[in-house]
Structure 1
Amino acid sequence: MQRDAAILLYGNAVSGILVSMLASSFLVFAFHDPLTDSFKQIWWLVMTSLLVLRGIDVIWWKIKLQNTKFDGKRAVNRFIAGANPTAVLWSVYLVYLTIYNNGIELTTTIIVVASMAGGSATVLAAHKPTAMFYAFILLAPGSIGLLASDEYALRLLGILGFAFSIVMFIISKKSAEFTLHTLYLRNENTVLLHRMEEKVEQRTRKIYELSNLDPLTGLFNRTAFLNHLKSVINRADKTFALLFIDLDGFKKINDSIGHQAGDQILRKTAERLKQSDLDTQLLCRWGGDEFLIALENTGEAEAIEKSAKLIARLSEPHNTENSVLSVGATIGIALYPEHAVTEDRLIQSADMAMYYQKKQAPSSVGVFSGEMEKLYFHELRMKDGLTKAIEKQQLRLVYQPLVLSTNHKLVSFEALLRWQFDDENIPPDVFIPIAEQYGLIHEIGAWVLKNACKQASAWGNDIGVSVCVNVSVSQLKDECFIAIVDDALLSSGLSPELLHIEITESVFESDTSFLSHQIKSMQARGIKVSIDDFGTGYSSLSVMQDLAVNIVKIDRSFVNKMNSNGYAIISAIMNIASSLDFLVVAEGVETEEQANELSSLGVHFLQGYYFSKPMEVANIPNFLSKKTEVNEY
C-alpha cells in the first residue's frame, strides 16, 4: 500500500510542481504594488527554492528508487515533507494579500488558489491526511481573514471561499478514501494472484515429480533419465560411461524381513549415490533394486575405478531401527560410442555386463564385450525355446538307476530331464538356470513330476521301484507345489512311497520355516525327501535337523577325489548321517574301486556310470527284466 501510494504521489508530482511554479510566478510578477512587492518577491524566492528541492527529490526518486523495492513509508513521508510546506506557503501568501490588498489582484489570487485546492484533491489522493490538509489550508485561513473585512463584497467572497474549502476538504477525504480502497483491492488481488501462482507452481512441481521422479528414492525415473541420457548423447563429443547397478542380497532382505526394510535400503542407497559427487540429472532408479548412472567424459579405466568406490560405499552396513543390514552391489559398464550409440542399446549393454558379472563374481565390476552380447542373445533364444518346449514335445525324461551298495540291487531310478532344441541336445545345467531365471521352471517342473510319476506307475507298484525327481527351491517355495505333487500322484496312480523328491543344497539359503512345512507335508504322505549335491555349498547341520530330510546325496566331486581329501569328507558326512539318522547316496560312481570304497565307508546307495548311464524310457523294461530283485529305497 505505501509503495503504491508513493508511486501515485511521485507520478503526479511533476505536474503539481510546474503548476505551483507557474502560478506563483504569475501572481508575483503580474501585479505591482509598492506596498506588497518586497514581500511577494521574498515569498517567491522561498517558494521557488522549495519547489526546486521537491523537483530534485522527484528526479532522484525516479532514477534511484522507482524500479526498486524501496521503503514505501519513507518515500511517502519525504514527499509530504515538501507538499505540506508548499500548501502553508500558499496559505501565507493569500492571508497576506487579504490584509494588504482588496482589488483585482486579491480576487485573481483567490481564484488561482481555489483552482489549486480543487486539483490537489486528485493529485494528492494517495495520501489522505495531506490531500485534506492541502485542500483546506490553501483557502480557509485567507477566507476567514476576508470575513473580518469591512467591505460586504470581501466578506461575501470570504464566505464563498470558506465554503469552498469545506467542500474541497470533504471531496479530498472521499477521493483519498476511494483511492486507498482501490490500492487495497489492487494489493489484495496481487496477493491472491501470488497465492494462485504459488499453488500453480506447487501443482506443476507435483506433476513434474509424478512424471519425472521415483516416489520412493526421489531420483529420476526411467522416462526422465532416458530424456537426459538422450541429451547427453546428442551433445557428446567424448567417451562417456553408463553404469548399471544391481544390489546383491536385496531380494533376501525383502523376502525375509519385509518390504518396509527393503524400501529403507533403497532410500539409503539412493542417498549414498547422491552423496557420491555424481550429476543427479544423470542418476536414476531404473526399477526394483536397479540404478543407472551416466558419467560424462569418462573412459573405461576411470569408470572401473569409480564403480569400485561405489561398490565399497553401497556395501557398507545400513543401520535400521531393529538391526544392521548389508547388501552388496554389482556394476556393469557400457561405453559410448564404443559399445553403443543410442540410449536403449547403451542401457541394454550395461545391463548385460552387470548380469554376466553377477553370475561370475557378484559385488564387482564388469565391462561389456561382444562375447557377452552373443551369450545374451543365445540365452534369449534358449528362453524363447523353453516357453514352447512342452508344446513342441521337445522335453523328455531319461532314467539312471540307484543301487544298494552291498549287493548292487536296483532300488530306484532318478528322472533326468533332457531337451532337444533345433537338433541340439541342451545340457540341463545350461537350460535349468534359464528356466529358473525367467519363471519357466514351475511349468516345466510340473511336467517332469507328472511324467515321472506316470512312468514309474507303468513299471508297476508291486515291484517297488521308486522314482527320484529333482525339484528346484523356487518350485518348493510355491504354495501350490503340494497340490501339484498330489495331482501327479493321483493322475498316475503311483504310490506316494515310491516318489522321492530331491532338492538342491541351495535350500539352506532360503526361509527354512516354510520349506520345512512343505517337506513335512510331503513326508506325511509317505514321500521321501533328499538333499542333492550335499557338501558343495550351504550345508548347515542345524538347518538339516530342522528340515528333517530322509536322504542326503554326496556330490560327485567328492567321489572323484576319493584318493585325496574326498575320502575324509565322505567319512565325515557318514558320521553326520549316522548321528542324524539319514540315508546316504553317493553319485558319480564310475569305477569298481570307488564302489567298493564307498561301500566300506557305509554309504547306503550308489549311482553312476559304473552301473548304468541314463537310459531312455524304451530301454527300462529290458533293464528291469535283468534286475529281478529290487530292494526298498
Structure 2
Amino acid sequence: MQAPWIDTHAHLYLTASYAMFRGHLHQEEVEQFFDYTAMALQRAEQQHDVVIMEQSLFQQARLKTKVRQAVDRAIENRTVQIYLQPLYGTQERRIIGAEVLARIYDEKLGLIRPDFFITAAERSGTITQIGEQVFEKTCLFLNEHPLQELGLKRLNVNLSPIQCRDIHMAERICRIAQHHHIPLRSFCFEITESALSYEARLQQNIDMLMAQGATISLDDFGTGYSNLMRVLKFPFEDVKLDMTFVRAYFDHTNKLLPAIIDGFQSFGVQITAEGVENKQMADTLTKLGCRILQGFYFANPLPLDDFLHYLKTTTPKVSSTID
C-alpha cells in the first residue's frame, strides 16, 4: 500500500480500512448493506481504527437507499422541480437574474434536502439526467415567461462535475435549447472548481456553449483548493464566492475577501457573492466591488409562481457605492 498504483495519467495511492459486521441480514437489507459498508469503511479511515458496524450506521445507510430510490422515481416520472433564487445586480440596483435550483419532493420522504439527493445522484450516475431535466424545465419556463418580459438578463444553471466530464454534454444542452427555441445567451452555466480537473473535455464543452452565446461562471470559489491562476486559465465571466468564504470575512476569521475581489477584477472577471444575509453585508459587498449578490436577504429559493410574484412586489434595499 505504500507504493502507488501507476497508470498512464496518474499515480494512485491506496489505503486500507477495516470494518466488522456481526449479525444477520434480511433479503430486503442487502442493497442497503453496500451503503452501510461504505460508510463504515469511511469512518474507519477517518478514525484510523477498526470500526464495529453498529445500528446507527445501518439507519443512515437505509436512508441513503431510500433517497436513491426517490431520485430514480423523480427522474422516471419527470417530477424534479425547479426553484429560482434571485440575483441582485449592484450596478443596476435591481434583480437582474436568478439561479435555477433542483428540488425533489417524494410522496414517501417528503421534501428531500438538496445535498442528500445530489450526493445520491452523483454516486448512482443519474446526476446528468437530473441536470438535463432541470434545464429542459427551465427552457419551458422561459417559453411562458421570456427574460425580457421579466426584466431579467439571464438565468444561472448548474452543471455538475460529472456532466462536465462528458464530451457530449454541451451538444445535448444546445439541442434541448434549440428544441424549445430558447437562445443560449439566456443562460449562464455555473461550474464548480472540481470540474476543472477534466481540463480538455471541459474546455471543449465551454467552447461550444460560448459559441452559442452562453456565459460561464465558476461556482463556490473559496472551498477546496481554490487557485486564482488555475481559474484564470478558463474564460469565466463571473466567479461566485462561496457563502462560507463570504461569512468568514464578516465573522473576522478571514480577511482575504477584498484582495480576492481586487485580484479577479484586475483580470476583468466580475464577482458574485453568495450567503448575503442582511443589509449590512449587502452594502459592504457592494462597496467592495461585487457585481452580483445572492442570499436570504433578498429571498430564499422560490417556486416558480412565488418567484414571479416576488419580481412584481419586492424592491430590495441596498446602498449604492456612491451613497
The CA deviation at 1:357 is 3.9
Q: CA deviation at 1:327?
A: 1.0
**CA 1:356–1:533 in 2, change beyond 3 Å: closer, same or farther?**
farther
When residues 369 and 459 of structure 1 are mapped into structure 2, their CA distance, relative to the original with a 3 A threshold, is: same
Q: 1:567 to 1:598 in 2, by over 3 A?
A: farther
| Structure 1 residues 434-483: Cα deviation after superposition (integer angstroms, max 9, x where no partner) | 00100111111110011112213432143443111111010111122112
Q: Structure 1 residue runs of 4+, over 4 Å off?
A: 319-324, 345-351, 359-366
Specify the alignment match of 1:353 in structure 2.
37
Flag the 1:530–1:341 CA change in 2: closer, same or farther, 3 A: closer
2:181 alignment partner AA: G
Distance 1:547 1:339, change over 3 A: farther
Contact 1:353 1:366 in 2 (8 A): no
What CA distance in whole angstroms lies between the structure 2 residues aligned with 1:533 and 1:321?
Answer: 31
- Greater alpha carbon shift after TM alignment, 411-420 vs 544-553: 544-553
Gaps of 5+ in 2: 316-323
Aligned to 2:82: 397
Distance 1:602 1:328, change over 3 A: same
Unaligned runs of 5+ in 1: 1-313, 629-633
CA distance in 1, matches of 2:97, 2:85: 8
More helix by share: 1
The whole-number CA distance in structure 2 between the counterparts of 1:321 and 1:411 is 47
Taking the aligned partners of 1:418 and 1:348, their CA distance within structure 2 comes to 24
Q: 1:449 to 1:330 in 2, by over 3 A?
A: farther
Counterparts of 1:528-539 in structure 2, within 5 Å, are 528-539=215-226
Provide closer, same or farther for how the CA distance between residues 350 and 626 of structure 1 changes in structure 2, counting only shifts above 3 A. Answer: closer
- 1:380 counterpart = 2:65: yes
Aligned-partner residue type, residue 220 of structure 2: D
**CA 1:334 to 1:496, structure 2 compared with 1: closer, same or farther past 3 Å?**
same
Structural mapping, 1:96-135, within 5 Å: none
Q: Deviations over 1:119-156 (max 9, x none)?
A: xxxxxxxxxxxxxxxxxxxxxxxxxxxxxxxxxxxxxx
Matched, 1:434 2:120: yes
Question: In the alignment, which residue of structure 2 is the partner of 1:594?
Answer: 281
Partner SS for 2:256 = helix
- The one of 278, 296, 312 equivalent to 1:609 is 296
Distance 1:320 1:595, change over 3 A: closer
Q: Deviations over 1:396-435 (max 9, x none)?
A: 1111100112453111111111111126111101110100
1:501 corresponds, among 168, 182, 189, to 189
- SS in structure 2 of the partner of residue 328 of structure 1: coil
Q: Output the amino acid matched with 2:146.
A: G
- Mark the CA change 1:562 to 1:555 in structure 2 (over 3 Å): closer, same or farther: same
Partner-residue secondary structure (3-state), 2:249: coil
Instruction: Say which SS state the counterpart of residue 75 (structure 2) adopts.
Output: coil
2:167·2:201 contact (CA, 8 Å) conserved in 1? no
Q: CA deviation at 1:617?
A: 0.8
For 1:499, give the aligned amino acid.
Answer: F
Read off the aligned partner of 1:353 and give its amino acid letter.
Answer: T
Instruction: Please give the alpha-carbon distance, in whole angstroms, between the structure 1 residues aligned to 2:19 and 2:32.
Output: 10
Pair 1:564–1:381, CA change in 2 (3 A):
closer
Structure 1: how far apart are the matches of 2:82 and 2:156?
12
Contact 1:413 1:465 in 2 (8 A): no
Match of 2:321 in 1: none
Please tell me whether the aligned partners of residues 18 and 41 of structure 2 are also in contact (alpha carbons under 8 angstroms): yes
Distance 1:567 1:494, change over 3 A: farther
Change in CA separation of 1:525 and 1:341 when aligned onto 2, cut-off 3 Å: closer
Q: Give the TM-score normalised by structure 1.
A: 0.45
> Alpha carbons of 1:350 and 1:486: their partners in 2 closer, same or farther (altered >3 Å)?
closer
Cα distance in structure 1, aligned partners of 2:120 and 2:155: 25
1:334 maps to amino acid: M
Name the CA distance, whole Å, in 2 between partners of 1:439 and 1:502.
Answer: 19
2: CA distance between counterparts of 1:524 and 1:359? Answer: 46
Q: 1:347 to 1:468 in 2, by over 3 A?
A: closer
* Cα shift at 1:492: 2.6
- Distance 1:583-1:363 versus aligned 2 partners, 3 A rule: farther
Q: Hey, what does 2:232 align to over in structure 1?
A: 545
Larger RCO (CA within 8 A; separation ≥ 6):
2
Matches within 5 A, 1:120-199: none
Q: CA deviation at 1:564?
A: 3.6
- 2:241 counterpart of 1:554: yes
Q: Distance in 2 between matches of 1:396 and 1:538?
A: 32
Larger CA deviation: 355-364 vs 491-500: 355-364
The size of the alignment, in residue pairs, is 310
1:592, distance to aligned residue in structure 2 (A): 0.4
The equivalent residue for 1:445 is 131
Verify the 8 A CA contact 1:530 1:553 in the aligned structure 2.
Answer: yes
Q: Kindly indicate whether residue 11 of structure 2 is the aligned counterpart of residue 317 of structure 1.
A: no
Aligned-residue sequence identity (percent) comes to 24
Question: What's 1:419 paired with?
Answer: 104
1:577 aligns with 2:249: no
1:546-582 Cα shifts (integer Å, max 9, x gaps) = 2222211111112222334466222122122113321
Residue of structure 2 equivalent to 1:460 = 146
**Aligned amino acid, residue 162 of structure 2:** S
User: Which residue, 489, 495, 515 being the options, matches 2:177?
Assistant: 489
Name the SS of the counterpart of 1:574 in structure 2. Answer: helix
Contact residue 332 and residue 352 of structure 1 kept, 8 A: no
The SS at the match of 2:208 is helix
Amino acid at match of 2:81: R
Q: What is the alpha-carbon distance in structure 2 between the residues aligned to residue 604 and residue 348 of structure 1?
A: 46
| Displacement of 1:363 | 9.5
1:122 corresponds to = none
Other-structure match for 1:625: 312
Match of 1:511 among 178, 198, 203: 198
Aligned amino acid, residue 515 of structure 1: L
Contact 2:238 2:270 in 1 (8 A): yes
The structure with the largest alpha-carbon Rg is: 1
